[in-house]
C-alpha cells in the first residue's frame, strides 16, 4: 500500500526507539503547522507532550477540524501528520491512566486518518499497548463466544439456500475452469495473458488463517479492541447504507446477530493487514499476484455475514480473491 517510514513508539510524554530522529521529526512538523497558522495547535501539542490530556484532546480536535475543512484531496498533508501526532499524545496519556481501549481507538484513528510521517510510531505504540493488555483480555472473554462463532459458521452450509440467492441463469454462462493446482508459468500463459478467469482450489490450505480465524478468542485477542471502519447495509447502493467506526469485537457481535437483518455490517476494501499486522502474519501472498511483473497494488480484507452482496462493478486492476469456501465446496472449490 505504500511505504511506511520507521520511527520509535510513543508520544513526547513517553517516546522510545528513534530518539533524536523522532524529536526532530516532530519539531519540523510543529514548525510546518506554525507556517500554516496553527499556533493554537502547536501550543496545545507542546502542553500535551508534557502530560496534559486536555491539551492533547484539544490538539486532536483542532487537527480533526482541519481534516474536514474541505475536500479530502485539498487537505494540507501536514495537518494529517498533525492529527497523527495528537492521536499519539492522547493514546500515551490514556494508556498511562489505564484506559487501554480509548488509547487503542486513538491510535487506530491516527492510522486511518493521519499522515505517513509518524506511522512507525503509531504502529509501535499499538504493539506495545496491545501486548500490555492481552493477557487480561483473554481471561475476561467468555468461553461461550467461541461456541457461538462455530454455530454461526455451521448455519451457512446449506447449498440450496445459497443457490436460491443467485440471479436466474447466472450459472448458465461460460464455464470457468477449475484447477486444483497450477504453476505460475501456466497461470500466466493460460489465464493472465488471455484474461481468462480461473478457480484454483487448495492454494490457501496452508494459511494459518484457515484455522486460527475460526477461533473467536484468537480474533478478539489479536484485534478485539482495535477500531475499524465498517459499512452498514446490504450493499453500498441501498438508501440505508452508511459507514461507522467501531471496535472489531463490536463488529464480530454484529456478524453473530442473525435477528438484526437491517443492521448488516461488513468490513470491505480496508487495508486491515497494514493496520493490524498480527493478522497479516496469518496469510501469505501467492506467487500468482506477481504475474504481471509489477508490485502488489493493494492488499485488502473482507469480513461479513451472510446476506451482504457486492453490486456489479469493474476494478481498475487484476484481482486474486482468496476465500475459504465450505458452503459451496462441492460446486466450485
Tens of pLDDT, residue by residue over 91-141, are 999 999 989 889 999 999 999 999 999 999 999 999 888 887 665 655 555
Ranges of residues in the chain whose predicted pLDDT is under 50? 1-18, 142, 149, 153, 327-333
Q: What is the pLDDT of residue 166?
A: 53
Residues in the chain: 333
Q: What is the pLDDT of residue 2?
A: 36
Q: Decide if 7 contacts 21 (C-beta within 8 A).
A: yes
Give tens-digit pLDDT for 136-188. 655 555 455 555 545 554 565 555 555 555 555 555 556 788 888 888 888 88
Q: What is the pLDDT of residue 66?
A: 94
Q: Decide if 112 contacts 30 (C-beta within 8 A).
A: no
Helices and strands (H, E) in the chain, number of each type = 14, 6
Taking the whole predicted model, whether its pTM rises above 0.75 is answered as no
Backbone angles phi, psi at 288, to 5 degrees: -60, -25
Cα 138 from Cα 135, distance rounded (Å): 5
Ordered by start, the domain boundaries in the chain are 23-132, 174-203, 207-303
What does CATH list as the number for 207-303?
Answer: 2.60.120.650
Nearest CA to 2 out of 172, 96, 157, 116 is that of 116
Nine cell digits for residue 192: 493472465
Q: Which residues contact 189 (CB under 8 A, 6 or more apart)?
A: none
How far is residue 184 from each of residues 37, 178, 244, measured CA to CA in Å? 54, 15, 40
Amino acid at each position: 500500500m505504500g511505504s511506511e517510514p520507521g520511527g520509535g513508539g510513543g508520544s513526547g510524554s513517553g517516546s522510545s526507539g528513534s530518539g533524536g530522529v523522532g524529536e526532530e521529526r516532530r519539531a519540523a512538523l510543529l514548525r510546518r503547522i506554525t507556517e500554516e497558522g496553527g499556533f493554537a495547535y502547536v501550543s496545545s501539542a507542546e502542553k500535551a507532550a508534557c502530560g496534559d490530556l486536555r491539551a492533547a484532546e484539544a490538539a486532536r480536535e483542532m487537527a480533526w477540524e482541519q481534516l474536514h475543512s474541505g475536500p479530502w484531496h485539498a487537505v494540507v498533508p501536514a495537518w494529517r501528520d498533525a492529527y497523527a501526532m495528537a492521536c499519539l499524545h492522547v493514546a500515551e496519556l490514556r494508556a498511562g491512566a489505564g484506559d487501554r481501549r480509548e488509547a487503542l481507538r486513538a491510535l487506530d484513528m491516527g492510522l486511518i486518518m493521519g499522515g505517513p510521517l509518524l506511522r512507525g510510531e503509531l504502529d509501535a505504540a499499538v504493539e506495545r499497548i496491545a501486548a500490555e493488555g492481552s493477557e487480561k483480555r483473554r481471561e475476561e472473554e467468555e468461553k461461550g463466544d467461541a461456541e457461538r462463532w462455530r454455530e454461526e459458521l455451521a448455519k451457512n452450509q446449506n447449498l440450496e439456500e445459497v443457490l436460491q440467492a443467485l440471479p436466474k441463469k447466472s450459472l448458465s454462462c461460460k464455464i470457468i475452469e477449475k484447477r486444483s493446482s497450477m504453476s505460475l508459468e501456466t497461470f500466466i500463459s493460460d489465464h493472465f495473458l488471455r484474461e481468462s478467469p480461473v478457480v484454483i482450489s487448495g492454494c490457501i490450505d496452508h494459511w494459518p488463517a484457515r484455522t486460527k480465524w475460526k477461533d473467536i478468542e484468537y480474533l478478539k485477542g489479536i484485534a478485539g479492541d482495535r477500531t475499524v471502519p465498517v459499512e452498514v447495509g446490504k450493499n453500498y447502493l441501498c438508501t440505508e447504507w452508511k459507514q461507522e467506526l467501531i471496535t472489531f469485537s463490536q463488529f464480530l457481535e454484529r456478524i453473530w446477530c442473525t435477528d438484526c437483518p437491517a443492521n448488516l455490517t461488513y468490513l470491505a476494501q480496508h487495508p486491515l493487514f497494514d493496520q493490524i499486522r498480527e493478522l497479516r502474519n496469518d496469510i501469505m501472498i501467492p506467487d500468482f499476484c506477481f504475474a504481471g511483473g509489477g508490485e502488489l497494488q493493494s492488499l485488502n480484507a473482507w469480513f461479513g455475514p451472510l446476506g451482504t452482496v457486492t453490486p456489479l462493478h469493474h476494478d481498475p486492476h487484476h484481482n486474486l480473491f482468496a476465500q475459504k469456501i465450505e458452503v459451496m465446496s462441492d460446486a466450485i472449490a
